[in-house]
């Protein structure tokens, strides 16, 4: 991908919080189209940053700076690449940029860093099951399911009763004539 030559300004967007603006080539905000900030990085900011950088390195829009709302990488097709970022990892700091990917021991490949990031920052299914919010939702849905089951049982009982009364001739209509 070639660098834009002497671009005065360009459109930027944050894929995390949906911030959209027009920036100058030196990173000055010229106009904000959408404030953003409504969404937080999920599941972890370091993993989200890595995924944005990884997609940009694979031929997507360039990373041109940090979002003023959520501090995640912002993307642009018009502006030049930002300086390399340092991502914290249990393997040590990882520097990632347009043509740079290195750790404490030297150059790395995308697959290795991706495996490290997923291993370190992607929540495990068991951890998600033990999350208090998920437990609360499961309890509420369970209670609602029991209530629904009770109502369906009552309706079934009434339908069965009406059928039995009609078959015995004890029921001749809604007014009991």
CA distance 69 to 81: 20
Q: Is the pTM of this model over 0.85?
A: no
Model confidence over 98-155: pLDDT tens digits? Answer: 889 999 989 999 999 999 998 888 877 766 667 777 788 889 999 999 999 999 999 9
HSE-up (13 A, CA, CB side) for residue 64? 30
Smallest Cα–Cα separation from 10: which of 47, 53, 61? 61
Model confidence over 53-101: pLDDT tens digits? Answer: 999 999 889 999 999 999 999 999 989 999 999 999 999 999 999 889 9
Domain-wise residue ranges, the chain: 9-122, 124-177
């Amino acid at each position: 991908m070639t660098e834009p030559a002497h671009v005065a300004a360009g459109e930027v967007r944050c894929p995390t919080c949906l911030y959209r603006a027009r920036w100058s080539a030196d990173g000055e905000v010229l106009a904000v189209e959408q404030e953003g900030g409504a969404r937080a990085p999920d599941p972890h900011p370091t993993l989200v940053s890595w995924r944005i950088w990884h997609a940009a390195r694979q031929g997507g829009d360039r990373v041109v700076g940090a979002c003023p709302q959520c501090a995640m990488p912002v993307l642009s097709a018009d502006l030049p690449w930002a300086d390399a970022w340092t991502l914290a990892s249990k393997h040590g700091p990882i520097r990632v940029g347009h043509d740079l990917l290195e750790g404490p021991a030297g150059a790395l490949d995308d697959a290795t860093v991706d495996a490290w990031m997923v291993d370190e920052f992607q929540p495990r299914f068991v951890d998600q099951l033990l999350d208090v919010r998920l437990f609360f939702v499961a309890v509420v849905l369970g209670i609602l399911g029991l209530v629904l089951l009770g109502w369906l049982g009552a309706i079934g009982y009434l339908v069965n009763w009406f059928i039995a009364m009609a078959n015995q001739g004890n029921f001749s209509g809604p007014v009991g004539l």
